[in-house]
Amino acid sequence: MLLQGGMGIPHLKWFGVDGEYNVMVIDLLGPSLEDLFNYCNRKFTLKTVLLLADQMIARVEYMHSRGFLHRDIKPDNFLMGLGRKASQVYVIDYGLAKKYRDLQTHKHIPYRENKNLTGTARYASVNTHLGVEQSRRDDLESLGYVLMYFIRGSLPWQGLKAGTKKQKYDKISEKKMLTPVEVLCKSYPSEFVSYFHYCRSLRFEDKPDYSYLKKLFRDLFIREGTINKYSSLKFLCIYILYTV
């Protein structure tokens, strides 16, 4: 309820118990970004990624402004709207969300170590792999991995084989830490490297400069040039909804 009213936050219609089930009714939304990614042969254009980045950063910023971390930033948890809102990105699934700050006192949760990995290993921040308590910086680093996944088609630590889940997490962590962001973002605009360097420079309690991050990608978007800001996203969603 604390998130209600924000742009890109699904409206909660009703919740309660129906027979044996706990029920929550929200807005009917369109495909997830993972769905769209698959429909597009697992590759988004740079312009599409930049359009998504602007809205996704804004959604994370809003959650943080309400005192919550998402802690499971991944393509499956961002959905497109329908109809007149077909170009609007929504953030869903707050099952792992955590309050990081008291809205009255503004007191931040304490720094801790030896935490188990919470979220999806593929997109988890380096500090999350290291067992550090998550804070705002980690949601944003995870978002950076999502953007690189979209533009590259895959991430270097995908498809690693291991005997157990823990061994797989360890392999992902090792590969992630051994892959410099300059290598991860090679052949793509330097703004992506700047994004990661900024996120990783933040201290545990630091408030991110969301405007700076959005401006990075907005300026790149302008340099790339386009006629209609949301035309590519809206066309993409409408095409998929009527052809699958």
* pLDDT in the model for residue 6: 85
| pTM for the predicted model, two decimal places | 0.91
Spatial distance between the Cα atoms of 81 and 91, rounded to a whole number of angstroms: 10
Tokens of residue 85, six digits: 């809102």
Among 119, 111, 230, which residue's Cα sits nearest to residue 169? 119
Kindly list the distances between the CA atom of residue 44 and the CA atoms of 38, 63, 99, 121, 237, in Å, as whole numbers in the listed order: 10, 26, 33, 22, 13
Point out the residues that are catalytic: 72
How many whole angstroms from its chain centre is CA 172? 18
* pLDDT in the model for residue 82: 94
Spatial distance between the Cα atoms of 123 and 35, rounded to a whole number of angstroms: 17
Spatial distance between the Cα atoms of 42 and 36, rounded to a whole number of angstroms: 8
Residue-wise pLDDT for 10-57, tens only, equals: 999 999 999 999 999 999 999 999 999 999 999 999 999 999 999 999
Spatial distance between the Cα atoms of 165 and 5, rounded to a whole number of angstroms: 38
32-241: CATH superfamily: Transferase(Phosphotransferase) domain 1 (1.10.510.10)
Q: Which residues contact 210 (CB under 8 A, 6 or more apart)?
A: 57, 58, 60, 61
Residues of the chain with pLDDT under 70: 1, 226-244
- Judge contact between 160 and 171, C-beta under 8 A: yes
* pLDDT in the model for residue 53: 97
Outline where the chain has alpha helix (H). Answer: 33-39, 46-65, 126-129, 136-152, 165-178, 181-184, 190-201, 210-224, 231-241
